[in-house]
Amino acid sequence: FFQYCLSGHPTLPCNVLKFKSTTIMLDCGLDMTSTLNFLPLPLVQSPRLSKLPSWVLKDGSMLLDKELKECSGHVFVDSVPEFCLPETELLDLSTVDVILISNYHCMMALPYITEYTGFTGTVYATEPTVQIGRLLMEELVNSIERVPKAQSASMWKNKEVQRLLPAPLKDAVEVSMWRKCYTMPEVNAALSKIQLVGYSQKIELFGAVQVTPLSSGYALGSSNWIIQSHYEKVSYVSGSSLLTTHPQPMDQASLKNSDVLILTGLTQIPTANPDGMVGEFCSNLAMTVRNGGNVLVPCYPSGVIYDLLECLYQYIDSAGLSNVPFYFISPVANSSLEFSQIFAEWLCHNKQTKVYLPEPPFPHAELIQTNKLKHYPSIHGDFSNDFKQPCVVFTGHPSLRFGDVVHFMELWGKSSLNTVIFTEPDFSYLDALAPYQPLAMKCVYCPIDTRLNFIQVSKLLKEVQVMNFLFP
Amino acid sequence: VLSMFCWCAGAGQDVGRSCILVSIAGKNVMLDCGMHMGYNDDRRFPDFSYITQNGRLTDFLDCVIISHFHLDHCGALPYFSEMVGYDGPIYMTHPTKAICPILLEDYRKITVDKKGETNFFTSQMIKDCMKKVVAVHLHQTVQVDEELEIKAYYAGHVLGAAMFQIKVGCESVVYTGDYNMTPDRHLGAAWIDKCRPDLLISESTYATTIRDSKRCRERDFLKKVHETVERGGKVLIPVFALGRAQELCILLETFWERMNLKAPIYFSTGLTEKANHYYKLFITWTNQKIRKTFVQRNMFEFKHIKAFDRAFADNPGPMVVFATPGMLHAGQSLQIFRKWAGNEKNMVIMPGYCVQGTVGHKILSGQRKLEMEGRQILEVKMQVEYMSFSAHADAKGIMQLIRQAEPRNVLLVHGEAKKMEFLKQKIEQEFHVSCFMPANGETTTILTNPCIPVDISLGLLKRETAIGPSPDAKKPKLMHGTLLMKDNSFRLVSPEQALKELGLAEHQLRFTCRVHIQDPRKEHETVLRVYNHLKGILKDYSVQHLPDGSITVESILIQATAHSEDQGTKVLLVSWTWQDEELGSYLTSLLKKGLPQSTP
């Protein structure tokens, strides 16, 4: 039994497990915090961004003036954003037999692994994970490809040069390994290697090991995995939640009596109570709109947004916001909203009961029907005609480096009436805002992270009676 | 060799009222709980008294499995669980769980409210019954109890239809319910892995039919509808609200669009809109094409098909009406049929199977004068067409499924005796497996070869592996122990422990053999020679010369005495226990060869 950890990110794991002569990769998350070092990709020419001064070395040399720009004391790379891949040198990834995916956030590096390492095995994931994972990848590829950037900076990556740069660029690790985004053909090739599985389905690997996905309660189709031989049982717990949101609740009973429990994807903000954060989110939103300002919510196109829309559905009438338009802008907005309604079997009990009636499980169907929520593939086209202020906009990407959100930051940043509310916990909001400084708009940080916190973990460990724990 | 029992309460050589009881390794599972559309009396429900005898159903049955929402598979469920009384788990897929109560309520309304029957299950009973239902995912292994597990496979017959594998230890049964091996306009094809069950219970509605290609049937259907509408006639298509109806709607919708036709298409209201909604919400259960395109265009949102109102039936001019139920045995379809039957311009198309006793069955078998309620005679002048659109596997499909699953035995249900007999022969010829077709109430016993797990005591395992060369994982190793069958379990323990546990005294079995050796020397010298000889040969064994003049090789004892008559012959007594038989007989044969010439 060996375990290798290929990702430095705590909530976007990538581990490799060698067990009974099979090599199993557990998740392949993509660390996107690297993009924070880059300048945002504006959808329309931004005079502010193009006028930023070049950064000059202390000795006055202009060596990097084309690659690095300065904004409010921070230095950014002026290039197509790049991602930090899982470690590929530690072991030969072509020997990986299978990849087990636990949720759609933890599969974003899949094309890099399946298309570039000689990987020939099978990937296992649930149907919602694959469908929503595809949407996340599509949005990512789309938001980077639609803003072609002529220049691709590489000089700053030279070790000698990097040494001279200010933090955090100076301290960025393995910059030579950073990669540009994959393409849609690569996404499709990677996804074609996935075999769909259901919760509690027993899958035999070479007759040596049996793997079983279990509901993890964190997202639609999210799963923990049991990896067992006849006499040993390894549980891989990744991104799990004990809170009642839209997904099917976590299956704890099946984790009992594991010899080893590998635990990843804990909440990074244990002090932020999700319920409290949602309340704060709603009240900040209402206050801004009542004062005539606009609200920007940088978010992923699936996941927490479903819960937020549901809260707003209950909240808007009582808060007198019925006439405020809600916009959801993403190339996959429509697909995401539609897909959320068809996975009845993967939803919590209350939502399942609604489907039996038959009614759509999520109330955003009604928000769309009553025209309170409108969705658009991008800011271009129909949106520009329908656009009314004050309004609430949900759009990506939460890093604020690409996607339609860049446009709204530029548009609304100058007015203190407007508010940007951060709900996704993956990026530091201060770092995300750095290239937009100085900023007049209000910034509210309401991270909503439903994953396990330490108290819940210790309770869980007590309940499942495990022999050994592993925190990679 | 153990056996497995299978008993048909319904569906044995019969279509309608599916209900099968399987007993596998001591577990009792009921498969489907259907009603018979052809009867209006006690015979419509299976006879559960056979199961109950005098006990309670809950005590006897470990679980109930429902394959899909058609009433001939789930219609008796509230009667069974609430009126006869069953409180154990009932398993079905999510779409079945969603749709089943609606069809049951519909059925109840027709029976109680319209026909005025009493002593029938109530709405509350349907609700209480559904509370006992546990929904399962496809391919999920559901552990009913510690030993019994079930797993659902996609069956394609209607939305949410599933085949079920029932497994106890290494014995297993697959029950197909109704299935379809060819994808159609809205559903995918049934699929199962090579699970090699001991028994495959397959439906056989279309046991002898090898149906022509789907495309031909569709073209034929469209042509007939089109012709009738062109000449100003009305087309009645009796359907069940969910299933074939949606497929035919998709077919007509695209045809109307392509041909730019204007004649109205109606769908009898009530269930319809709801039904289409179920298809939208459970779109992951439909075929690949619909699933892929649903975001852009949902196939279940129809433009040309509108809700039907009772008054429309008397409207002049052509129209097409889908009306429920599908076998013309009651409700709106029968009402419309009575109105339109007298006109030869009109047409009724029966898109599915009709059970004996229904109006549908009568007109399909050529009857043109029907006796209706109140001795009224209805003359049928309208054209009657039959189109096999119901999604059952045909003979080819059934054979294909057998090839996929590789069962050791096949049992045919849900079909007509004559047709089943033909298919049975075909299956036996091609696959060389036994094939059964029990009648209702008949029990079939199937022999199985279950593997029986045996616990080995750790002490014994350690002791046995320590003997001889170190174990090689790739080679089998012989072990000695005692098999104990006690308290319904099997254990392999050391003989000592077995004796102790069973309170038995130990008996020893010893073999003694005399070997004559020509040696004139004194006894103790002979012993010494034997000792040296054995020591030289048996290097790996402990050979000892004891002070009392005997030799031991491990636990084998050798003593020498002079022959009573011939002093030149010495008699060696070799004595060993039964456990050392191998070494003992080896020593004897060694000594029989004589001693080597001594080298003084």
**What CATH number is attached to the domain comprising A280?**
3.40.50.10890
Could you tell me whether strands A122-126 and A98-100 are parallel, antiparallel, or unpaired per DSSP bridges? Answer: parallel
Residues B70 and B81: their CA atoms lie apart, in Å, by 17
Residues of A with CB under 8 A from a CB of B: 127, 197-202, 212, 334-335, 338-339, 341-345, 352, 355-356, 358, 360-361
Residue of A192, A197, A355 for testing the chain B interface, max B β-carbons within 10 Å: A355
Alpha-carbon gap: B102 to the closest alpha carbon of chain A (Å): 9
Question: Pseudo-torsion of CA A291, A294, A295, A301, nearest 10°?
Answer: 150
pLDDT digits (tens, 9 = 90+) for B259-282: 999 899 998 766 667 788 888 899
Measured in angstroms, the CA of A335 and the nearest CA of chain B are apart by 6
Q: Which residues of chain B lie closer than 8 angstroms to A340, CB-CB?
A: none
Average pLDDT, chain B: 85
Of B135, B141, B274, nearest to A200 by CB-CB distance is B141
Give the closest-approach CA distance of B128 to chain A in angstroms: 15
Asked if A237 and A339 sit in the same domain, the reply is no
- The SS3 assignment for A230 reads coil
Q: Are B140 and A200 within 8 A, CB to CB?
A: yes
Across the interface, whether the CB atoms of B137 and A345 are under 8 A apart is answered yes
Q: Which residues are within 8 A (CB) of B589 and not within 5 positions of it... i.e. 6 or more apart?
A: none
Residues of chain B with Cβ-Cβ distance to A345 below 8 Å are: 94, 135, 137, 284
Q: Which residue of B has its CA nearest to A334?
A: B295
> pLDDT (tens digit, 9 = 90+) per residue, B397-429?
899 999 999 999 999 988 888 888 989 999 999
pLDDT, one tens digit per residue, over B209-232 is 666 667 788 888 999 999 999 999
Count of A-B CB contacts under 8 Å: 56
A191 part of a folded domain = yes
- Listed in order, strand segments (DSSP E) in B530-598 are 543-545, 551-553, 556-562, 569-577
- pLDDT tens per residue across span B91-131: 999 999 999 998 898 888 877 876 777 788 999 999 999 99
What's the rounded mean pLDDT across residues B84-96?
94
**Per the structure block, which two tokens stand in for B279?**
């298809």
A42 in any annotated domain: no
- Could you give the 3-state DSSP secondary structure of residue B66? coil
Q: Which amino acid belongs to residue A448? A: I
Task: For residue B140, give the nearest of A201, A338, A344 by CB distance.
Answer: A201
Q: How far is B184 from chain A (nearest CA, A)?
A: 21
Residue A20, in any domain of the structure: yes
> Whose CA is closest to A124, among A18, A195, A190, A222?
A195
CB contact under 8 A, A342 and B139: no
Q: What's the rounded Cα separation, in Å, for the pair A125 and A165?
A: 42
Closest chain A residue to B296, measured at CA: A335
On chain B, the residues whose CB falls within 8 A of the CB of A212 are 141
In the numeric block, the tokens 């897929």 are attached to B93
pLDDT at B470: 64
Give the pLDDT score at B47.
Answer: 79
Under the banding of pLDDT at 50, 70 and 90, the label for residue B87 is: very high
For residue B600, pLDDT over 50 is answered with no
Per-residue pLDDT, A120: 92
The predicted structure's pLDDT at residue B506? 85
Percentage with pLDDT > 90 across chain B: 31
Q: What is the CATH number of the domain that holds A263?
A: 3.60.15.10
Same domain? A204 vs A313: no
Do A440 and A369 belong together in one domain? Answer: yes
Distance CA B401, CA B194 (A): 10
What is the reported pLDDT for B196?
92
pLDDT at B1: 39
Pull the structure tokens for residue B135.
Answer: 């929904």
How many separate domains does chain A show? 2
pLDDT in tens, A147-205: 887 778 888 888 888 888 888 888 888 888 899 999 999 999 999 999 999 999 999 99
Nearest residue in chain A measured CA to CA from B142 = A200
More confident residue, B386 or B564: B386
pLDDT digits over A215-225, tens only?
999 999 999 99
Rounded Cα distance, A94 and A116, in Å: 9
- pLDDT value at residue B2: 47
Q: Under a CB-based contact definition with an 8 Å cutoff, are residues A364 and A373 in contact?
A: yes
- Which of A52-56, A313-317, B135-139, B299-303: highest mean pLDDT? B135-139
Domain match, A26 and A135 both: yes
CB B117 within 8 A of CB B96: no
Burial class (CB in 10 A: 0-12, 13-18, 19+), A52: middle
Across the interface, do A334 and B295 touch by the CB < 8 Å criterion? yes
Rounded-to-10 torsion of CA A46, A51, A54, A60: 180
Per the structure block, which two tokens stand in for B498?
A: 């077995």
Averaged pLDDT for residues B466-473? 66
Nearest CA-CA partner of A398 in A371, A423, A367 = A423
Query: Mean of the pLDDT values across residues A232-249?
Result: 92
In a domain, A65, yes or no: no
Please report residues of A whose CB lies closer than 8 A to that of B141. 200-202, 212
User: How far is CA B466 from each of CA A223, B462, B470, B478, B546, rounded to the nearest angstrom?
Assistant: 44, 6, 7, 12, 28
Instruction: Find the mean pLDDT for residues B555-572.
Output: 83
Proportion of chain A above pLDDT 70, given as a percent = 99
Domain annotation covers residue A259:
yes
Point out which residues pair with A54 in neighbouring strands.
A69
Cα of first residue to Cα of last residue in chain B, in angstroms, is: 66
Q: Which two tokens stand for residue B539?
A: 């290097």
Interface contact flag, B281 A339, Cβ < 8 Å: no
Q: Is residue A75 part of a domain?
A: no
CA gap B452, B457 in Å, rounded? 16
- Specify whether A364 is located in the same domain as A297: yes
Is A48 a domain residue? Answer: no
Q: Which of A279, A326, A293 is nearest to A420 (CA)?
A: A293
Which residues of chain B does A197 touch, with a Cβ-Cβ cutoff of 8 Å? 139
Digit-coded pLDDT (tens) for B167-207: 998 899 999 998 988 888 888 999 999 999 999 999 887 76
Tens-place pLDDT, residues B335-383: 999 999 999 999 999 887 777 778 888 998 888 888 887 778 889 999 9
- The arithmetic mean of pLDDT across residues B443-451, rounded, is 82
Average pLDDT, integer, range A240-250: 92
Interchain contact, A201 vs B142, CB within 8 Å: no
Share of chain A above pLDDT 90, in %: 65
Sign of the C-alpha dihedral computed for residues A293, A298, A302 and A306 taken in this order: negative
Average pLDDT over chain A reads 90
Contact: A201, B139; criterion CB under 8 Å: yes
Taking CA atoms, what residue in B is nearest to A354? B98
CB contact under 8 A, B140 and A334: no
A41 in any annotated domain? no
Q: A290 and A248, same structural domain?
A: no
* Among candidate residues B27, B20, B32, the one with its CA nearest the CA of residue B2: B27
Residue B14, pLDDT > 70, answer no
Q: Hey, CA dihedral for B95, B100, B106, B107, is it positive or negative?
A: positive
pLDDT of residue A441: 95
Same domain, A305 and A247: no
CA distance B462 to B459: 5
The predicted pLDDT at position B518 comes to: 83
The pLDDT value recorded for residue B358 is 83
If one counts every other C-beta atom within 10 angstroms of the C-beta of residue B369, the result is 9
Same domain? For A184 and A302 the reply is no
In the block, tokens 């290097």 appear at: B539
For residue A195, give its domain range.
4-33+82-267+452-470
Residues of B in contact with A352 (CB under 8 A): 94, 135
**Do A198 and A144 fall into the same domain?**
yes
Sign of CA pseudo-dihedral B268, B273, B274, B278 = positive
Task: Report CB contact under 8 Å: B94, A344.
Answer: yes
User: Which secondary structure element, helix H or strand E, spans residue B20, and what is its range?
Assistant: strand B19-24
Residue numbers in B near A198 (CB within 8 A): 137-140
Please report the ipTM that was assigned to this predicted complex.
0.85
Position A282 confidence tier, pLDDT thresholds 50, 70, 90 = very high
Which pLDDT does position A404 carry in this prediction? 95
Q: Do the Cβ atoms of B284 and A343 come within 8 Å?
A: yes
Token representation of residue B513 = 């053999």
A139 or B53: whose pLDDT is higher?
Answer: A139
List the catalytic residues of B: 203
Which residue, chain included where needed, has tokens 């090699």?
A: B196
Residue with tokens 């139920």: B325
d(CA B89, CA B134): 7
B8 pLDDT higher than 70: no
For residues A413 and A374, membership in a common domain is answered with: yes
Among the listed residues A133, A144, A124, the one whose alpha carbon sits nearest the alpha carbon of residue A188 = A133
Which residue of A198, A338, A344 is in closest CB contact with B140? A198
Q: Span B67-91, mean pLDDT?
A: 92
Same domain, A253 and A329: no
Q: How confident is the model at residue B16 (pLDDT cuts 50, 70, 90)?
A: low
Are both A257 and A307 inside the same structural domain? Answer: no
| CA contacts within 13 A on the Cβ side of A73 | 4
**Which distant-in-sequence residues (6+ apart) come within 8 Å of A281 by Cβ?**
A308, A311, A421, A423, A444, A446, A448
Closest Cβ opposite residue A358 in set B141, B277, B294: B277
pLDDT at B15: 61
Q: Copy the structure tokens of residue B46.
A: 């299976």
Identify the structural domains of chain B with CATH numbers, from first to last: 2-210+391-448 (3.60.15.10), 214-386 (3.40.50.10890), 455-468+476-502 (no CATH), 510-593 (3.30.310)
Judged against a pLDDT cut of 70, whether residue A66 lies above it is answered with: yes
Which has more pLDDT, B527 or A125? A125
